[in-house]
Structure formats: C-alpha cells, structure tokens
Amino acid sequence: MQISDSMTFYACKLVLVTGGSGFVGSHLVEALLAVGASVLVPLHKQPLRVGAGCVEEIVADLTQYDQCLEVMRGIDYVFHAAGSVGAAGIPPSGQMLLINENLQLTGNVLRAAWEAGVKRLLIFGSSTGYPDLHHPVCEDEMWSGPPHPAYLGYGWMRRYLEKMAEFVVSRSELKIAIVRPTAVYGERDDSGHVIPSLIRRALNHENPFVLWGDGSEIRDFLHVADLVRGALLLLERYAECDPVNIGYGTACTIHEVAAKVLKYSGHKTCLLQPDLSKPSTIPYRAVSIDKARQLLNFTPEISLDEGLKRAVAYYGSLQS
C-alpha cells in the first residue's frame, strides 16, 4: 500500500493516535508503523488491538484535560480518531451522549495540541453534515442547507467540530487537516453500522433476511484502508483546515450491498425482506472525491467486492 511518494514524512516522527484501539484508529496505527513512525496510543476503555510491542501505550482519559495535555507533550503529529459514532436506531438519549462526548474530546484535543506545540493534527469531519442533496456532494456545499433531519444532532455536531478547528488555526501555529469520510466499513468495525450488521446476520444464516427500510437507500461505501491512506496523505500534503472528502466515488443501494454480502458469506438461498417499520436515515449520501484526486492524487484502491470479501472473511474468523 503506497502512502506517500517519498515515504519519509512520518519516518521517525512521534505520532499520537487517539482512539488507536478502535476501528479506524487501529488501522491508522498499522499504517503509521508501516511508514516508520513512532506511535503513541492513549488507552482508556479498551486494550490495544494491533502493534503490540511496537507502540507506546499510555493510560489516559482524554475527557480529562490535564491527562489530555500530558499525552500531547513532545508529539509531532496527531490523528484524532477517538469518539463515538452514530447509527440508525440509536435512541435520543444515546444520541445526546455521543454528541457530548465528541464535543468534549475534540475540544480537549485541540486545546491540548495547541498548548503543547504539536505541529500538525488531523480531525475527522463527516458526510452526515451535508444537506440532503441527491448527487455526489462537493466540500463547498456543506453550508448550502441544513443536514438531513435524521442527522439534526450528529451532523450539526460534526459541523461545529470543524469550526472549532478553524478557530484554533486562526489563533495559533498549529496546522490542521480535516477529512470528511463517507460510509466507512471494514475489519474490526464493532459498531451497529449497516455493513457489519449485514455480515453478522448473513453469517448467522438469517432467513428471511430483513433490510431496514426498503433497501433503495444509496451510499458511497469506502474501505477503511483507503480512508487511512487518504488521511495520511491529507495530513502530509494539505493541512490547511480546508475539508477534503475521502470516499469511494461510486454509490450503490443497500439492497445491492446486502446481495453481495449474502453471496460472499455463502448464504445463497435467502429471501431479502424489506421492513419499512425499521428506522433508516438519509435516502442518498455520496460525496465527490474530485478535490482529493486533485490535491492528493488519491484514488481508492479497494473495490467494494474486494472489501466485502475481506470483511466477511474477518467476521467469519471471529465465529470459527
């Protein structure tokens, strides 16, 4: 996997990965080790999943500012991957909890990185902040309307995190990159998002196979390895506090994804059954990756079919 033309930007740098024991964070840890970085991961709720013996670990609760500041000292670059993510069906109290957690975590990380003299930092925005537009959305369309009502809390929160970053950049020497991922999937995703949920149910041979909604919802699914590659390129080449979409660039329906999951899991004789009583979210969510192509020379490397095969094999191995 080619991360950079020179492969030297991260070599011998001390890089902090918040959320390094989680889904996206653990893949970031692996990629940074591969390009010669020294990696520090603050651990709070779960143990390190990759890089044992090669990664410096420190116990820290980043919701406590003094602990957050302590882990920032001496750090060159930060990838802020800690936080909670939303999914369809989360009750309002749960949504409010994850909004509070993300605001507190990111506020502490930005403030501590500023105070500690970190050189560069990457934060994750989200395509959930985009308005309800039925075409691949460009970065400058974020503020052309409000987020879809399903993302009233989460989408606005993600927008505000970007504004927090803008404030820090306007008052400090810290360089910040902002990535807006589309729907990310892959190995180690323990969330309730659509693809891991479909895979687990397929491996359990659910029949009939129920789809939340009618299956016509359109998504731009991106494998986590491509997101990580794009994030590393972005921090190196365009830490300008100017958001960049990282997506697959091609969208498909949930029904199409479910059919592929059933195929690759070996669950062939199955009825796909829509359930309109189940909650769903925005009917169309896809992003334009023209900006990433132009600025970063970024092109996704992992096709949806290949990525789904990898994910099915991974979740299958957990059941064996």
Please say if the pLDDT value at position 171 is more than 50: yes
Q: CA-CA distance, 30 to 51, in Å (whole number)? A: 7
Q: Is residue 202 part of a domain?
A: yes
Higher pLDDT, 90 or 146: 146
Tokens of 311: 């994910």
Q: Is residue 120 part of a domain?
A: yes
pLDDT at 312: 96
The mean per-residue pLDDT over the stretch 153-167 comes to 95
Beta strand ranges found along the chain (DSSP E): 14-18, 38-43, 56-59, 77-80, 120-124, 175-181, 183-185, 209-212, 218-219, 221-223, 244-246, 252-253, 272-275, 284-285
The mean per-residue pLDDT over the stretch 146-172 comes to 95
Buried b (16+ CB within 10 A) or exposed e, 55-86: bebeebebeebebbbebbeebbbbbbbbbbbb
Please say if the pLDDT value at position 7 is more than 70: no
Of the ranges 141-155, 195-209, 262-276, which one carries the lowest mean pLDDT score?
262-276
Q: Is residue 191 part of a domain?
A: yes
Please say if the pLDDT value at position 243 is more than 80: yes
Mean of all residue pLDDT scores within the chain: 91
CATH of the domain at 79: 3.40.50.720
Contact status, residue 35 vs residue 11, Cβ threshold 8 Å: yes
pLDDT at 1: 46
Q: CA-CA distance, 266 to 251, in Å (whole number)? A: 24
Q: Is residue 2 part of a domain?
A: no
pLDDT at 87: 53
pLDDT at 114: 98
Q: Is residue 9 part of a domain?
A: no
Percent of the chain surpassing pLDDT 90:
76
Band of pLDDT at residue 92, cut at 50, 70 and 90: low
Q: Which pTM does this prediction carry? A: 0.93
pLDDT at 275: 78
Q: Is residue 184 part of a domain?
A: yes
Q: Is residue 96 part of a domain?
A: yes
Contact status, residue 298 vs residue 229, Cβ threshold 8 Å: yes
Of the ranges 113-117, 185-189, 207-211, which one carries the lowest mean pLDDT score?
207-211
Its domain, for residue 208, covers: 14-319
Q: Is residue 1 part of a domain?
A: no
The total number of structural domains in the chain stands at 1
